[in-house]
Structure 1
């Protein structure tokens, strides 16, 4: 035992004490690294092939640099989100030496004192914590240079894959060091950055369905994680203050040197560094143009469409006074996509359709964008093609429709590329733009399908350029002003000119369908008026369903797959329902500044709210909801090796067979969930409190009950749909009355509505389906906690059919987009 203890101490000593010569001095770097492969560059490193180690040479102490991890190869599941090319968080770090150790320290740039007084700056620095990312033992040194073992730092789960797998309930995984190693082909040193890549393996038990669908052995998940150390930009970048009237992401920090009379929180936008060669010229070439490079692994004709859509942004920079300042090229064969010098558009494959992203690597000190990084999911184009297939497809002897479907899909890709690149230029979503004549590619537009006689016309499905708002936003964010110009005044003038053109900005927080209130700010909508567009969309849906036949799928295709084309046609109105629901209790507003002349806030007129209510009630009419008879006879159970659990078909209560009440229930649940959203209901209560002639929650509930419960009872298909609606409305109202987060006034009015329903149906409850509804309401009255209601069948996934959760990864100071499926 004593011998083992001595041996352990000896091994510990030789592992953690710097290698020394016989005279006792520390080995020199040249001696220690003899025979190793040297990679000189921004941070020079040595590869020790015998031990599988990376030895880092440090000669820059107390010098700040940028570090960020990323995923070089992903998992392939949109739901987990660990995608190829995903960027991690940026960190300003510096190496600090203390005796035989070197610490990798991150200063706290969230709290600063922008002051020339060193004591004032020190007071802030010592008031808030810093972060030490790693500690290294010095193994050799030479002059002012030291050598450390970087390998353990590189062989960690730097992107947080373990947490993402756990967050998505895919199992409990841990890092298996025995299955991790450096990946040398992508570990390189460049003049401005040094890149390292490692093969990382996570092991765990009971992997979830998402992992099982994409990993060959799901208990062993292997990916490649990348580490970037980057030289910070040279001085000279001029930060631009944020203006809430124009959309830009950016940075925020507390400046404790700010006079008490001024805001202590400073907000600046994120943008690329761009300067005119001649600032006095109306149009000038750039000192250094912004160049984006497309992944050469993108196939044609998609490659050309993406390059064309990306190149649209040069129109905006021309409007801002730059000549050829924005360019797009194919990534050179010898270029490393992880090299900081390349703004990259990457083509990424997943097992299911998923989101695309526009992220950026930024300098957290200033907001300067150092590298734009776009991730485009390859299966998205197939969903666009599927929608076009349902609208105009006709697989018989005529093949003209194939070109039409492909054109719409490629036009969508052009806009998608422009959208995601726009995020990497600093722009968030602008969801009001679709109501302003499709003024921005930063909106989420659905295709504009028009009724033309008895058919659908897709000739104007998507715009083929950036919009007017996009040009004004780039002018505001990137305009280079001559010396002596009052920049703040000039920027305000640009905003006022933009407003004079009828262009404004509202973003994610204003557009979410459940809780937001602006009647013209939505995801996936079109048109200047949400109610009119819902009615128009319902007409398109009517024509699409009347034209639906087995010719929507090619000959030789299993008939069961007809449902996958049917789903987006049946739910073609779904996003416009979300838009129209926001008119109820809606409020029109702008991001107004005091004195800028913009309208601040007003309630949607009562007549418009009543129009919205009528249009929404039309979406729960049994005749509207009925599945065409042809389809009920044409969709058999899924055949062998065609998963019955695919997310692309309707959920059902009939086992393997198609459920004729499944689509109506999903559509009804969507409308009722939106109309009876607790926040929306509260706004309806409040607006009538202040304006007695306005639409109130009591009016909405009365119309719902009148529409649903006063239809004749019969045993037809539409009668069964009506019975389902009767039950779902009662259950939704019971859930709202029990919702402790809802306001007391809302719960009171809903409680009264339930008693009205009971009074209305109780006389015939014994001999009709109203018996269950009466029972549920009585149970709710007597013992609410014991009231049992069934969940509503949810619609198949809709999003992403256009751009998705994208820009939040790389931009600061804005609300993150939600994951919605």
Structure 2
């Protein structure tokens, strides 16, 4: 029975379980023999499967196989940015100085169209704040961003939030706007040298890449050959020279909302960002100017309103290059931080900071335009410069750097010596003591930092100071030499021997009263104003109220011919004749002692040779200050309601006084020929003869100055071209009329006079020669080396007097955005414009005087003796020959 039951149970188990037990096993066995399908490889993965350098940040950067890819977030399309370029390293720092910026940064945005990405340049020339909807919509259609570069999209990231494209050609190619060839200071000549370059792609490559929260940097090594030609002669100054530069390009994300601009006008010495205003309120397109300034806002507005000093929300930080010579560095740090003295007067503390390059911050890069730096350039150039970059939407300064070329100390040495050695015994040597030199360096750098803060040159600042006050101990101790360190008013050349011992100060002030005013105007908050226009109503009144006092008027820098004699460079005081008389007296004293003072340490005479030239050029500068008064017109920037005249003519008697001073100098230049010193040096010719030739040319040409004719038309008591010419001619021929025996100077003056007047009278065949001493005139070329300037032209020296050695060459100094014509009597942001003035042709005046001179000589030659008679015979021979032809 038991066996039967067991058999039945087994049958049930065998019959009931096989299908259920085996079915899963068969499925499992089948599954184990099949391989899962691989996911399809994306274009992104294909592109970056190889290990490569990646930089995470605002834009993810991929550097692979010598190529650079942007992984660009789609969220950034349409955002406004700046793309700038800085030279980091160079094979020739006379062609490109490390730290210098190339042109203006590009104002750009990235856009996406189909499978392409574009870089577009934005036109920010229009002022759109407060513009009504219709005009704004039309401006948008009429000013779409220009396509600057186009890139094919190579891939998308995994979630399609970013696109990938190859940007190698943007960074490893010649892009004019990002070029290293922005500085050609090594080459002389008038105008701009002609440059041609050939990019060597096979010798160029990518460098380091970095990306941060709001900016990225890409370094590239770019190689070229380049040639430079003289702008006039076309002579090749450089021919196919090799050049390599490491460039750092920075892409900076601008804030979504621009800083509220402060509207400025031509009455303030502030760099402007010009705009066009389209408005239904105006029946014209109006020019409007936004002040360039840093974002300086009180950290506690209520405390500031109560009159308490507060820190700014964001300080202005300048990082100091550690490679500066060690003994320069304290002066450089002080030059930056001393600006806090002025900000303190408007309720701020610790606005400007000077910090060393950080050594523990991997994000820091001196060549990233996010950082403002004071840079050292080991270059034999006697200069410094302080350019800045701004947000083009608002004028907010985003970056500003100062470049200090090594030979700035050479120029300081020369300048301090020729302007103060008569009064300061400490500087009567080849190497000026550090206490003097470093204080001068501090002054230069403070001036350059002023440019970085937004301030232009105010060239009239020194003209409000009475000349005699510059010899007053109490005045100079309080005010120095000028009312603004943004002037080109250097050291006290009016001070006489013994004045320093009496307490007369020889240096510019730390800050002048105009500097206080300018900082107050530019950086004082106006919290009650809700719009830039409301703010301008307040700040414009500040200028109007201040303009009654000439101390607070702005005199712009003049390039080329001088119109306004109160706004000259390198001058001091309110009376050019008086100041120049003091200055020339000092130059005589300095030249007489130059050999004794500077023999020690100058075995090869190179220092004395160069200083001799500087003394001569300083003398020319003093005469030039006076010369500008002949026909001069005082210009003032004026708005309706300002208590100041737009222009005023230099009075007739002041012009005559200036001319007579210059003519008198023609007969007392013998001191320029220091025979004992000239005999020791390899100098050609006679300084006296060369300068005399230049001065007489300038004097004879004075009646033909266009500005003199304009002055005569505007003045109620004019000094006419005819009267000016008569004064010159009477001076030249006075000894002949009186039958006096002529001196060598007088004969040289007459020869040069006849030569110039004959040419102006149309006697092209006049062959008489003037002075032959033009071989002398050693000047400094842009590299700071002595060189002969055989083409020393009087008109260039006296009429087109831009500074020969400006000691400041700010790229922004010459900003002249002027989208609308300025009134004839006011120069605005551009150059002076005198409309509807016609210049009288006075050629007949010169011709008639030639006939008078011919008759005068015929009447005097018989009674003359010796060299005077031979001189008259020579002049008559050439005049008779020229008049017959």
TM over 0.5: yes
- Choose from 202, 207, 216 the match for 1:178: 202
Distance across 1 between alignment mates of 2:593 and 2:838: 43
Aligned to 1:604: 650
Query: For residues 647-671 of structure 1, what are the alpha-carbon distances to aligned partners after superposition, in whole Å with 9 as ceiling and x for unaligned?
Result: xxxxxxxxxxx23334531464257
Aligned to 2:43: 27
Q: TM-score, normalised by structure 2?
A: 0.73
Deviation at 1:35, TM superposition (A): 0.8
C-alpha change, 1:560 and 1:304, in structure 2 (3 Å) is: closer
Aligned to 1:348: 377
Distance across 1 between alignment mates of 2:496 and 2:131: 69
Aligned to 2:71: 57
Distance across 1 between alignment mates of 2:546 and 2:203: 57
Distance across 1 between alignment mates of 2:671 and 2:733: 16
Aligned to 1:148: 165
Aligned to 1:593: 639
Query: For residues 51-77 of structure 1, what are the alpha-carbon distances to aligned partners after superposition, in whole Å with 9 as ceiling and x for unaligned?
Result: 212211111222221112232235656
Does the 8 A contact of 2:295 with 2:396 survive in 1?
yes
Q: Secondary structure at the match of 2:538?
A: helix
Aligned to 1:313: 339
Distance across 1 between alignment mates of 2:103 and 2:223: 18
Aligned to 1:66: 82
Aligned to 1:800: none
Query: For residues 367-394 of structure 1, what are the alpha-carbon distances to aligned partners after superposition, in whole Å with 9 as ceiling and x for unaligned?
Result: 1111112122220211221344557779
C-alpha change, 1:592 and 1:734, in structure 2 (3 Å) is: farther
Distance across 2 between alignment mates of 1:609 and 1:749: 20
Distance across 2 between alignment mates of 1:46 and 1:755: 83
Tell me whether 1:490 sits opposite 2:490 in the alignment.
no
Gaps of 5+ in 1: 1-21, 638-657, 784-821
Distance across 2 between alignment mates of 1:398 and 1:479: 42
Aligned to 1:655: none
Aligned to 1:480: 525
Deviation at 1:256, TM superposition (A): 2.5
Distance across 2 between alignment mates of 1:213 and 1:387: 32
Deviation at 1:561, TM superposition (A): 4.7
Which stretch shifts more, 364-373 or 291-300?
A: 291-300
Q: Secondary structure at the match of 2:515?
A: helix
Does the 8 A contact of 2:494 with 2:579 survive in 1?
no
Does the 8 A contact of 1:523 with 1:575 survive in 2?
no
Deviation at 1:691, TM superposition (A): 5.2
Deviation at 1:522, TM superposition (A): 0.5
Distance across 2 between alignment mates of 1:659 and 1:725: 21
Deviation at 1:294, TM superposition (A): 1.8
Q: Secondary structure at the match of 1:138?
A: strand
Tell me whether 1:327 sits opposite 2:353 in the alignment.
yes
Query: For residues 701-728 of structure 1, what are the alpha-carbon distances to aligned partners after superposition, in whole Å with 9 as ceiling and x for unaligned?
Result: 2222333344589xxxx95555444444
Tell me whether 1:534 sits opposite 2:580 in the alignment.
yes
Aligned to 1:506: 554
Distance across 1 between alignment mates of 2:236 and 2:334: 34
Tell me whether 1:367 sits opposite 2:395 in the alignment.
yes
Gaps of 5+ in 2: 1-37, 466-481, 765-836, 862-866
The root-mean-square deviation of aligned C-alpha atoms, in Å, is 3.9
C-alpha change, 1:127 and 1:674, in structure 2 (3 Å) is: farther
Does the 8 A contact of 2:496 with 2:586 survive in 1?
no
Distance across 2 between alignment mates of 1:254 and 1:565: 50
Q: Secondary structure at the match of 2:220?
A: strand
Deviation at 1:523, TM superposition (A): 0.4
- Choose from 45, 60, 70 the match for 1:44: 60
Deviation at 1:125, TM superposition (A): 3.4
Distance across 1 between alignment mates of 2:877 and 2:182: 45
C-alpha change, 1:442 and 1:771, in structure 2 (3 Å) is: farther
Distance across 1 between alignment mates of 2:487 and 2:294: 22
- Choose from 464, 476, 493 the match for 1:449: 493
C-alpha change, 1:753 and 1:446, in structure 2 (3 Å) is: farther
Deviation at 1:417, TM superposition (A): 0.9
Query: For residues 424-443 of structure 1, what are the alpha-carbon distances to aligned partners after superposition, in whole Å with 9 as ceiling and x for unaligned?
Result: 11111100011234111111
Distance across 1 between alignment mates of 2:133 and 2:225: 49
Deviation at 1:225, TM superposition (A): 2.4
Does the 8 A contact of 1:114 with 1:256 survive in 2?
no
Q: Secondary structure at the match of 2:276?
A: strand
- Choose from 327, 335, 339 the match for 2:368: 339
Q: Secondary structure at the match of 1:745?
A: coil
- Choose from 139, 143, 156 the match for 2:154: 139
Query: For residues 171-217 of structure 1, what are the alpha-carbon distances to aligned partners after superposition, in whole Å with 9 as ceiling and x for unaligned?
Result: 64311111111232xx322222111121111124688899x9999x9
Q: Secondary structure at the match of 2:551?
A: coil
Aligned to 2:689: 664
Does the 8 A contact of 1:682 with 1:745 survive in 2?
no
Aligned to 1:281: 306
Distance across 1 between alignment mates of 2:612 and 2:138: 65
Aligned to 2:323: 297
Aligned to 2:136: 121
- Choose from 245, 255, 271 the match for 2:267: 245
Q: Secondary structure at the match of 1:245?
A: coil
- Choose from 677, 686, 693 the match for 1:631: 677
Distance across 2 between alignment mates of 1:667 and 1:41: 67
Tell me whether 1:562 sits opposite 2:608 in the alignment.
yes
Deviation at 1:422, TM superposition (A): 1.1
Tell me whether 1:696 sits opposite 2:720 in the alignment.
yes
Distance across 2 between alignment mates of 1:548 and 1:29: 76
Does the 8 A contact of 2:81 with 2:108 survive in 1?
yes
Distance across 1 between alignment mates of 2:119 and 2:656: 62
Query: For residues 590-610 of structure 1, what are the alpha-carbon distances to aligned partners after superposition, in whole Å with 9 as ceiling and x for unaligned?
Result: 212111222332222222222
Query: For residues 675-695 of structure 1, what are the alpha-carbon distances to aligned partners after superposition, in whole Å with 9 as ceiling and x for unaligned?
Result: 7368x7233334445657532
Deviation at 1:112, TM superposition (A): 5.7
Deviation at 1:100, TM superposition (A): 2.4
C-alpha change, 1:124 and 1:421, in structure 2 (3 Å) is: same
Q: Give the greater-gyration-radius structure (CA).
A: 2
C-alpha change, 1:659 and 1:710, in structure 2 (3 Å) is: farther
Deviation at 1:321, TM superposition (A): 1.6
Aligned to 1:191: 213
Distance across 2 between alignment mates of 1:745 and 1:237: 54
- Choose from 830, 838, 841 the match for 1:745: 841
Deviation at 1:38, TM superposition (A): 0.6
Deviation at 1:733, TM superposition (A): 4.2
Deviation at 1:243, TM superposition (A): 2.6
C-alpha change, 1:537 and 1:81, in structure 2 (3 Å) is: farther
Distance across 2 between alignment mates of 1:417 and 1:314: 15
C-alpha change, 1:275 and 1:724, in structure 2 (3 Å) is: same
C-alpha change, 1:480 and 1:116, in structure 2 (3 Å) is: closer
C-alpha change, 1:163 and 1:405, in structure 2 (3 Å) is: closer
Aligned runs of 1:449-468 on 2, under 5 Å?
A: 449-450=493-494, 452-453=496-497, 460-468=505-513
Which stretch shifts more, 84-93 or 94-103?
A: 84-93
Deviation at 1:120, TM superposition (A): 3.6
C-alpha change, 1:624 and 1:594, in structure 2 (3 Å) is: farther
Query: For residues 738-762 of structure 1, what are the alpha-carbon distances to aligned partners after superposition, in whole Å with 9 as ceiling and x for unaligned?
Result: 79x9934344444444444444446
Distance across 1 between alignment mates of 2:580 and 2:876: 34
Q: TM-score, normalised by structure 1?
A: 0.79
Which stretch shifts more, 217-226 or 164-173?
A: 164-173
C-alpha change, 1:152 and 1:34, in structure 2 (3 Å) is: same
Deviation at 1:218, TM superposition (A): 6.2
Aligned to 2:870: 768
Does the 8 A contact of 2:194 with 2:230 survive in 1?
yes
